[in-house]
Structure 1
């Protein structure tokens, strides 16, 4: 699987290669509530086929109808707005007070989709800038994931970010890790799975995941976690999980978690303290990992982990749902 933006770009590139005409729509500004964030993409083909989303569906339908009724958008990049009135906001499914501005560009060789996609397949984080007047596109590789939110639009230049701006290191190549990786990839994570145990990685089935057999602590040190990286230990083996946690808890990683029961998690904290991990660092450890959603199967546990990652990534307070007893009290 891949993130939603890359799916849009991959599909648009295939359309162009087949000789079709296509346009790329980008959400460049919103007022009030909006169903899609800035930078959301949708590609529209000359026969009305589309991929991606800029709203809940009504705006997409209108863009298709405009194409069929009025013909193709003009060749030069342009903008259009939805939700200027209460009636229009209701018609296009925008929340009360919501207004959205889209940028539309006609795709072609000048759009540099092929070069962008080559970089994305190599796991690079890329900045794409469109000159609205000339249609020229520049691509720049971004070295630091801390610059990954640099979306901007000033009416003349549209700058968007593409690629895995978040990283996820999974310790252990078991079934649970496969489910977590499968869910994390389309959310924009560059996923690495680490397992030094013989044969564990041999049957790994999730494409697009980097696999390493080095020791977990060495892997964490080599990856140098920053504020856009998460480390999750899923082996149930203290000899492996603790090694990763000892190093990860001393980094700026936005999420460090470990699988295990409450009793095992308490024992783990005691062990980590003996190895010099501070109480302040232990307070950031998500163990038991994930939110309490009531499920117990591997896919359900994976969902709880990815849900917690998503909430922490967006700084949504979910501490009560992360506590099993508090979670049970809510149901």
Structure 2
């Protein structure tokens, strides 16, 4: 019996060994700073909280700093301050693919590791990009869902985006446009790409403008959590409710009332908290030297398990979830 216990303990120790070795590999006293697009964006808040939870789990020191607006250069001063503070890593959701790159390169030259998440920079601005899901998949899925919700009759559609320079938005929209070229979407006509600048009131007004300018509009895709909730709020009290389909990317907690009152039938998203969590682990591993960001690198990401760095330093969280009346109450974020 004692021999059996010894074998079992040895087996358990062996299964735990990789995790123990990994934990030991992370440096102590890491300082990791999250820099969101804007500090008060509900989606960004959830993502940053996920990142801080991971940082606490690792025993590192975390902080969140950022601008109140999503302007192209509004993050620059924060990057400069973080360089001065000698952070171990900066995790940034970029407002512009290029505006922050010279400053992030300066951070890298100072030995600070840079991870982008949610919205990427040009590749030279960072070592790793933690992507929500495959960008092509997100863009195409938005069109597929909208088409299903509108039905075979099709009609005019519009996109309500964030800022004109938002890397993630523009990439998704590019893939939406590619998907719309397929014969099965011949009856869907993209008439306008509008920009709400990730501002609630501007997105609300832009939705009003779309419905007035295009009286035959059948659907709006808003691949931004601020935009989709503002658009739904406008539509919920509009005579067009029930006639215009709104879908896009939103959080269940933001969209629950609009699903319940019939304004929105279905929308998609991943868990932004898990996105921040994964980005924090990527940053910690970079700063500890366990990975460099090259294709094929692997690292442990806490509860999310082992992750692999793909082409161009991309790490993918996973496919988005479709939320509707049947499942929305199962989620709380």
The bucket for the TM-score relative to the shorter chain is: under 0.3
Q: TM-score, normalised to structure 1's length?
A: 0.27
Greater RCO (Cα-Cα under 8 Å, separation 6 or more): 2
Q: TM-score, normalised to structure 2's length?
A: 0.27
